[in-house]
A = this chain, B = another copy of it.
Amino acid sequence: MEEREISQAVIRRLPRYYRYLGELLEDNVERISSNELSRRMQVTASQIRQDLNNFGGFGQQGYGYNVKYLYTEIGKILGLDIDHNMIIIGAGNLGQALANYTSFEKRGFIFKGIFDVNPRLSGVSIRGVPIRMMDELKEFINEHNIDIAVLTIPKTKAVDVANLLVDNGVRAIWNFAHTDLDLPENVIVENVHLSESLMRLSYNLSRYNKEHIE
């Protein structure tokens, strides 16, 4: 399957297709038309046809999409058919919240370890995984073949820790620290900047107020 030319805009939409198809599967729906999917996802049917055509056309005219096939194929495109070992750096509330999402595991993100600098957390376990101290990090990464690290630490530490992770072979960082990381090109970084999301909400709220109330 040729997929190099797919635009980032389409890629950004794929996880949402994957989510809706997963829900259809849970409801034992076998086939769905682009019109019905359009109604559920509130995206135009032509957008859906265009997006899914990128992957060789899973649909058959007048017959709809095979939900399971489409779900599986999009999963492969997203790399969810391959397991990745993952660690979390920062065992605060957010780190613990992420450690407790068992749904990540179902998609191939295997929670292997969680690290912190707070000695009071040493030995506390989350889903059977003990919180380890940072001095064990290097050895742990090498021994457990860790691909992905999640950063839920203050921004002042994030850059140093990210460099340490990458020096030890981590290939991708899911970054919740409130700073941008400047890492080698071959390292994948996905940022979740929560306060920026809250500011977008604030902007939309204040624009609505200006347009309707003032």
Contact = CB atoms under 8 A, between A and B. Distances in A.
Interface of A: 3-4, 11-12, 14-16, 18-19, 41-42, 77-80, 82, 84, 92-94, 96-98, 100-101, 103-104, 107-109, 147-148, 171-172, 174, 178, 180, 182, 186, 188, 190, 192-209, 211-212
Given A11-B200, A100-B93, A147 B205 contact: yes
Given A94-B97, A97-B93, A202 B12 contact: no
Contact of A198 (B41, B174, B194): B174
A203 B77 contact: yes
Report how many copies the assembly holds.
Answer: 2
Nearest to A211: B4
Contacts of A178: 19, 103
Contacts of A192: 192, 194, 197
Given A93-B96, A97-B92, A208-B186, A174 B193 contact: no
A174 B201 contact: yes
Contact of A79 (B12, B15, B194, B206): B206
B190 A107 contact: no
Nearest to A81: B206
Contacts of A202: 78-80, 84, 107-109
Contacts of A98: 194
